[in-house]
Amino acid sequence: MAQLGLHTFAAAPRWDQAEMRALLDKFQQHKIRVLEIPLLNPAEIDVAETRAFCEETGIAPVCSLGLPPEIDVIADPDSGLAFLEPAFQVASGVGAFALAGVTYGTIGKISGAPRSTEEFDGTARFIELAARAARSHGLKLGLEPCNRYETHIMNTGADGRAFCEAVGADNVFIHIDTYHMNIEEVSYAQGFRDCGPFLGYVHLSESNRGAPGAGTIDWEQVYGALVEVGFDGITTLESMNYVHPAIASALAIWHPVAANPDDVVDVGLPFLHEVAAASGFLYT
């Protein structure tokens, strides 16, 4: 059966073990089995304490990030690999199975034109190198397609699959997000189908980045589509409730995404459980 995760932006703008520990009762109540730890600054993470926390609580970690604007992985892939290396070390150190997110480029960087053949080829070459580096740390590499306002490189499940097939590495998967799918896909079902065997991780994110059920995402369709494709991996609630200032501008987070920040966890998680159960999507 699938597992339900929570991105820590729902509770804090950066990884804070004390704040997560204070939420353990809620995690237990809402069957949170995974916490997504953003690695915007890997040096902030106390690896030993974080691994001990995860082992003690039984909560599995997954790590994520996006590349900063000064890095061009096509013109200078070495700079991208140098940026990812500390993140790979932290992700492996805390016991994560993967480093996911916009691992192939910069959030908020667009050319104003369709993706070129040169951009596809250059990005694929970088993903291949990054996948090799991830493997050396015992990790998988997740690729998150984002909407057209955040990137022109990879927008849909079909785009993600094209890169996975071009790279041909068995530790690369698609990390798809309902917020971006709501903008880019014909339907959730088609988007998930287009990922094919590379669908490996799902962000459950409301249309306004707030509490699930307080926006326009068709959650019945989302869960019905996940049932249709037989997905039984990790689905993680991502909300920009306490977004880190380093990426707030790139994500266009100008105001609070929920009138009551507590609603993201206290209302959003029960809502997801209710819709999932009604759709026949079972969480452990």
Residues with catalytic function: 144, 238
Question: Cβ atoms within 10 A of the Cβ of 110, count?
Answer: 13
The whole-angstrom separation of Cα 142 and Cα 123 is: 14
What length is written for the chain?
Answer: 284
Q: Enter the tokens of residue 99.
A: 């480093």
Residues 6 or more apart in contact with residue 7 via CB below 8 angstroms:
35, 36, 38, 64, 203, 236, 237, 238, 239
Assess contact for 14 and 40: CB atoms under 8 A. Answer: yes
Tell me, what DSSP letter sits at residue 214?
A: S
Tell me, what DSSP letter sits at residue 95?
A: T
Alpha carbon distances (Å) from 62 to 8, 97, 100, 206? 11, 6, 8, 20
